[in-house]
Amino acid sequence: MKFHFEILIGDRYESTDYLSDDEVHQSLLKMQKQDILKAETGDEYWEDIPDELFELLKTSIEAKNYDFTMARGHLWLNIEIQIDN
Q: What is the 3-state secondary structure (H, E, C) of the chain?
A: CEEEEEEECCCCCCCCCCCCHHHHHHHHHHCCHHHEEEEECCCCEECCCCHHHHHHHHHHHHCCCEEEEEECCEEEEEEECCCCC
Predicted confidence (pLDDT) per residue in 17-49, tens digit = 778 889 889 999 999 999 999 999 988 999 999
What residue ranges do the domains of the chain occupy?
2-80
Q: In the predicted model, is pLDDT for residue 68 greater than 90?
A: yes
Cβ pair 81, 1 in contact under 8 A: yes
Give this prediction's pTM. Answer: 0.84
